[in-house]
Amino acid sequence: MLDDDEDDYDGSTSGGGGGGGGAAHGEAVEVVDSLTAVMLADDDIIPGACVECEERAATKTCNECKDLYCDMCFTVLHRKGKRAAHTATAASADAIDETTKALDAIKRTASGMSAAVPATAQIGTTALGIGSEFARYSPEWFVERAQYIPLRLQMKERQKLRLVKAALSVSDYTGKVDTPALQKSSAKRMHRQVREICSMFSGLIVGTHYGYGQRVIQERDFDKEIYANHLGRTLEYARRHKIMNPEKMRTNFGKMVFMEQDAETPGVHALLNFSCVNGITTVYTQFETAGILGLLREPDMRYATMEILPEEGKSRATIQAEIKRKERAQESIARKYANRHLDKDAIKWCLYSISDNSSFLNSNRLPIDKMVAFLKDNFRAEAYDEGFSLAIAGGVDGARLTHSHGRQFNYVLQSLTLWREITDDMFRLWYLAEEDLIDAENVYALKDTGQGLQRVQSSPRILSAMRTILHRCQVSLGNWVGSSVIHLGDTNVPNALLFIDKYTQVSKILTPIVLAIQEIKKLMKKPQLAKYINDTYGGPDALKKMILYDFFKNAFDGSGADNFFDAGSCIDGRLTSAWHWCSTLSEKPFFPIFKLAGFTGFDGDFQE
């Protein structure tokens, strides 16, 4: 069992007066520390605290950002770019002193030295159901999403995909081009880029048609009419495959997109004399070319593209009925809209592609929905069971943030909700990330970020999309705990590729936790394992809550970075903390349960 002493409150206060201990059986506790009560009464927000680190009193207000910062956070966040020109207004000494005392009181509370959280700390939230401006499965929703759903690859296209993957697997493009020796010599680096790109393209042509490959190698010229479109299409197959399967090509995709990025730079592009970047073929473009966009507004689209899941309690007859309904809807739509540009089979192939998107959402968004449900079913913002306070204090057990129980509850809820919205919009974000990366006018800089040489590049498109998603979450949740800083194009997150790759890992973090919790019920059916769980953890319910308590408390504490400014409560830092928790799973008392549930790791096959 967890050591409850760390989070139990013994009722002692610095302000006098009696008071009970922790809130047992979910009953709200009475606040006995008057200073804590004042600080927590206003929606659990600490007035005057730095919005970034949340553990120091704010010494100034940014006149442009309209946020409060301590000296250190203001300096770091306003050291370059447009923020460097921001101005600040200093806070009064009395305000700083008052906030410092309040923060100290909150830290004592989270460490078990003071009282607990009042009912007024709860923030009105609606974690589920936040979506785009269109209702899910509405005609407008299908029209909007179809623009970013790639067309599923045909068999001949998959053959070219295998060729690209094979070529990339033996390529060391970034290892040869992004080196310290070439960092300061643009001419030598461009020469190496052209050599490696031509080598890669020649290999793709040889692998496709040996005769054409011989001619290219002899003439050393990529004829536009013969090769340019072929190379662009071949690489587009790999890009399309990656968008639909973000967990695939984990290392090889980076080589390819950086190669395309370099091929589009003015110097290299002038030597190649053609563009190797083609537009992504989407469901929308297929329907638009055939003049049948009205298909996306059909009422049966919901049934023609849904994923049929063998959910618990669903009978075989129900599943078969759903399959038949889906097939009838597909046949009806295909027959109605088939024409000389797009026949029935081609229309069905487009519908299958939309179904692939539904499958992606179910496999990647569903774990987040389940974790939100676990949070709301087992914890409440206004109260907590004895020994299960989510309160954290900066400097205690590695935490970087200081949150009361209610504040931490809402911080976790908001983080999960944000991840859900990002995952729901992942296909569109991939498009924007590629546009930012392969933009000849958006030049990158090769810099040592502390994680080796990285291509540091601004990403205005995906940054704008992220701000929109974040704003939508903030409006829907009614309040926001922590910083709203989005790291992108800096030393923390150098470019759009690394940014988008981070958020494809959310389901990899949450899925093993969800599966382990769901597996507990099955483990209890085996007498020996049931005895082990009862004797060691106090039963299945206690075990489930132990796992969730540890994750919600320690995976969202701002830890995980090498220095002060690389984690915290910023948008990027929330995911960093969760990954840090994953790295410590083997040290947890419930790790044997994960192994019994079939856990092998969080990251899966890194190559494929």
How far out from the chain centre does Cα 581 lie? 16
Structural tokens at position 183: 């960092």
Question: Measuring CA to CA, which residue among 15, 12, 98, 31 is closest to residue 405?
Answer: 31
List helix spans (H) across 147-228: 155-169, 173-177, 180-183, 186-208, 210-219
Contact partners, residue 86, CB within 8 Å, separation at least 6 = 62, 63, 64, 65, 78
Partners of 476 in beta bridges? none
Quote the mean pLDDT of the chain.
Answer: 82
Residue 487: predicted pLDDT: 85
Rounded CA gap, 351 and 334, in Å? 9
Q: Is-contact 247 504, C-beta < 8 A?
A: yes
Residue 14, classified by CB atoms within 10 Å of its CB into exposed (0-12), middle (13-18) or buried (19+), is: middle
In eight-state DSSP terms, residue 604 is -
The pLDDT assigned to 15 comes to: 36
Q: Which of 111-120, 160-169, 481-490, 502-511 has the lowest mean pLDDT?
A: 111-120
Closest CA relative to residue 286, chosen from 358, 343, 355, 359:
343
Q: Where are the domains of the chain?
A: 139-150+282-367, 155-272, 506-596
> Please, what is the angle between helix 426-437 and helix 344-378, to 10°?
110
Is it the case that residue 295 has pLDDT exceeding 50?
yes
Token reading at 14: 């610095």
Q: 295-309 b/e with 16+ CB inside 10 Å = b?
A: bbebebbbbbbbebe
Close Cβ partners of 473 (under 8 Å, ≥ 6 residues apart): 130, 414, 417, 418, 421
CA-to-CA dists, residue 45 to 36, 558, 561, angstroms: 11, 17, 25
Q: Give the separation between CA 351 and CA 447, rounded to whole angstroms.
A: 44
- Residue-wise pLDDT for 386-442, tens only, equals 889 999 998 888 888 889 999 999 999 999 999 999 999 999 999 999 999 999 888
Report pLDDT for 28. 33
pLDDT of residue 481: 86
What is the pLDDT at residue 124? 32
- Classify residue 334 as left (phi > 0), alpha (psi -120 to 50) or beta: alpha
Average pLDDT over residues 172-200: 90
Q: Would you say 229 and 424 are in contact if contact means Cβ atoms under 8 Å apart?
A: no
CA distance linking residue 271 with residue 195, whole number of Å: 11
- Judged against a pLDDT cut of 70, whether residue 360 lies above it is answered with yes
* DSSP-assigned beta bridge partners for residue 90: 60
384 neighbors 390 (Cβ within 8 angstroms): yes
Among 74-78, 159-163, 244-248, 577-581, the range scoring the smallest mean pLDDT is 74-78
pLDDT of 162 strictly over 90: yes
Q: What is the pLDDT of residues 513-548, one digit of tens each?
A: 999 999 999 999 999 999 999 999 999 999 999 999
**What's the CA gap between 475 and 494, in Å, rounded?**
28
The two beta strands, 68-69 and 60-62, are antiparallel
Over pLDDT 90: what percentage of the chain?
Answer: 49
Residue 114 has pLDDT above 70, yes or no: no
Q: In whole angstroms, what is the distance from residue 248 CA to residue 329 CA?
A: 31
Rounded to an integer, what distance in angstroms lies between the CA atom of residue 136 and that of residue 438? 31
Mean pLDDT of the 590-608 span: 80
The yes-or-no verdict on residue 86 having pLDDT over 90 is no
What is the sign, positive or negative, of the torsion defined by CA atoms of 184, 185, 189, 192?
negative
- 14: DSSP letter: S
Question: Which residues, 6 or more positions from 439, have their beta carbon under 8 angstroms from its beta carbon?
Answer: 264
pLDDT at 34: 30
Q: What pLDDT, on the 0 to 100 scale, is given for residue 474? A: 87
Question: Which DSSP helix (H) or strand (E) runs through 89?
Answer: strand 88-90
